Every structure is written in structure tokens, then in C-alpha cells.
Amino acid sequence: MEIRIGIANTGRELNFETSESAETVRASVAKALDASASHVSFADSKGNSYIVPTAALAYVELGTEEARRIGFVG
């Protein structure tokens, strides 16, 4: 699943793919915001980790969990 995170006062966004479900990512972001945590952590499908301050979150866009097709579609 593809995740795009907008960070306040930054012209670029954080974009990566993860093997976690959309519900898991949504729950971790909501939990961090509800608990007034200072940051939220993500891990991508390549093993990289991302730590984003919750105060700087502008938006979190969760893509579909559908696998991409390879080849020609008829």
C-alpha cells in the first residue's frame, strides 16, 4: 500500500510503500494524535523507518491495498 504524508511548512511530501494494512496505519496515526504523542513512526516495505512529528502532520493519504498488475491488460 502506498502512503503519502504531507508535512507542514515543507514543499515536499513523504511518499513510500508499506506492507501494513490501511487500518493498521490509520490506527497508529489516530492513536498518536489522540495521545498527543510527539511523533508517529512508519516502516516501508524495504525496511526503512520514518519518524514524523505529529505537530507537523498536514495530511496522511492512504492508497489502496490492491496489488499492481504487471503486463498487458486486455
- For 25-44, the pLDDT digits (tens) are 999 999 999 999 999 999 99
- Confirm whether 69 is domain-assigned: no
- Confirm whether 25 is domain-assigned: yes
How many structural domains is the chain composed of?
1
Q: Which of 15, 12, 65, 6 is nearest to 44 (CA)?
A: 15
pLDDT at 69: 62
The average pLDDT across 12-22 equals 91
- Confirm whether 73 is domain-assigned: no
- Tell me how far apart the alpha carbons of residues 34 and 44 are, in angstroms, rounded to a whole number: 23
Q: What percent of the chain has pLDDT over 70?
A: 86
Domain of residue 28 covers 2-62
- Confirm whether 68 is domain-assigned: no
- Tell me how far apart the alpha carbons of residues 13 and 25 are, in angstroms, rounded to a whole number: 17
- Tell me how far apart the alpha carbons of residues 2 and 15 are, in angstroms, rounded to a whole number: 7
